[in-house]
Structure 1
């Protein structure tokens, strides 16, 4: 019996966990380093994440595709004039550009239940991949429940709080913001969702509820829409969102 057979390498207890997560575990090693394939995979994932941060919404194409929902689609801008300014000045991504304010004010909107805002956030790629199938399911379900909807708004260089100003101008009881989440090294295409009751400028994050990691490898579109519909139901019943609104039970979301 040779030395290798006499002292076999013990099995890697982490290897079986790789089937449950995209996290970088059980990478193996070559000497004191990780294998070349894992090093290259890390660099590729980093490149995908960086590309996602600098990706942009094709607002014209999206507006054309989303006209199928039978409502106007408006493209809005924030006070962040370009991507570098957006990344360096988060506050500017929370405020509408004056031209966009004037556009919404000119609509003289009637009160509605829900306004939906699509903001690029830190990954427009996430919206390109996930927003349309999400809206397909949500519009159908929202219509079945009798919710009135504001025109759909697309926002370039937008942060979560931009929905508060838009919701106020559209006279919406509640605003839902779909936004590209900060890319991770295994999730560059993750979409987040934030809902806020009685939106208006100046609100802080404890007034919102969040549904995160909406993507094929994360939370499915079906489950995300069901969670949103439950939270909408409870938000309108309790007249609030945020830390006081909990997903304690799932009633009537069939």
Structure 2
């Protein structure tokens, strides 16, 4: 008869690997296979090419304007991973329209194109609903992109605030998580200290689209009132509920 597993109920509350057990002086075979599968999923998420055409078509249905596609100066996935600096620089922004809108939304594949493919359009829809009092520029899809590329796109759009939706680095528990990086008055040279991040967006296991959108709306309002984003800007969304 198998002994009761003390950890079974606790595992339901977390995606962390806890109470894995032992088989002699090693892990049970099932746990080793689970780890290998999670590692393979993380690697696949990094290297999976983004289906840009599908993302663009789905974004067009949101009614935010015709989506624009740009890329970084990294010419391949391998170069993107080896040269983070190239992922921060745009290859060509001539297709980006000057809008003078309040907000810009840039969807970047980042380190998990899978995350953007699965959650990017749904999160953009939630953001558009939550930020309905602001004018929003046509969405921009950026490939082989890092967060700072959004500063160049935001400046080209002429927006007051840019929201960069990006695939986060996959872990051994989650391979499809998105982050939102908010920068007020975007321009090249902005530092990470001048941004705000909303992380771990991947329903149903992580933050929901609506929750993330509420936090983003609160940060946008705060940035416009404060005149800047980053370490001085705090999330006040809980105070509004």
Counterpart in the other structure of 2:11 = 18
Aligned pair partner of 1:57 in 50, 57, 69: 50
Q: CA 1:249–1:139 in structure 2 vs 1: closer, same or farther (change >3 Å)?
A: closer
Counterpart in the other structure of 2:81 = 87
Aligned pair partner of 1:190 in 177, 186, 194: 177
Q: 1:61-105 CA deviation, whole Å, 9 max, x = no partner? A: 1111111122010110110000000000000000000xx22222x
Check whether the contact 1:117–1:178 (CA below 8 A) recurs between aligned residues: yes
Unaligned runs of at least 5 residues, structure 2: none
- SS across alignment from 1:57: coil
Q: CA 1:249–1:123 in structure 2 vs 1: closer, same or farther (change >3 Å)?
A: closer
Check whether the contact 1:122–1:182 (CA below 8 A) recurs between aligned residues: yes
Counterpart in the other structure of 2:104 = 115
How far is the alpha carbon of 1:139 from its aligned partner?
Answer: 1.3
Q: Distance in 1 between matches of 2:129 and 2:236?
A: 25
Q: 1:182-233 CA deviation, whole Å, 9 max, x = no partner? A: 0000100011110000000011100000000000111111211111111111
Counterpart in the other structure of 1:4 = none
Aligned pair partner of 1:164 in 128, 136, 151: 151
Check whether the contact 1:119–1:180 (CA below 8 A) recurs between aligned residues: yes
Root-mean-square deviation (CA), in Å?
Answer: 1.7
Aligned pair partner of 1:102 in 94, 112, 126: 94
Q: Distance in 1 between matches of 2:180 and 2:226?
A: 20
* TM-score of the superposed pair, with normalisation by structure 1: 0.89
Q: How many residues align?
A: 238
Matches within 5 A, 1:142-181: 142-143=131-132, 146-181=133-168
Check whether the contact 1:15–1:25 (CA below 8 A) recurs between aligned residues: no
- SS across alignment from 2:160: strand
* TM-score of the superposed pair, with normalisation by structure 2: 0.94
How far is the alpha carbon of 1:15 from its aligned partner?
Answer: 4.6
Q: CA 1:236–1:218 in structure 2 vs 1: closer, same or farther (change >3 Å)?
A: same
- SS across alignment from 2:213: helix
Q: Distance in 1 between matches of 2:85 and 2:57?
A: 30
| Rg larger for | 1
Matches within 5 A, 1:195-206: 195-206=182-193
Counterpart in the other structure of 1:226 = 214
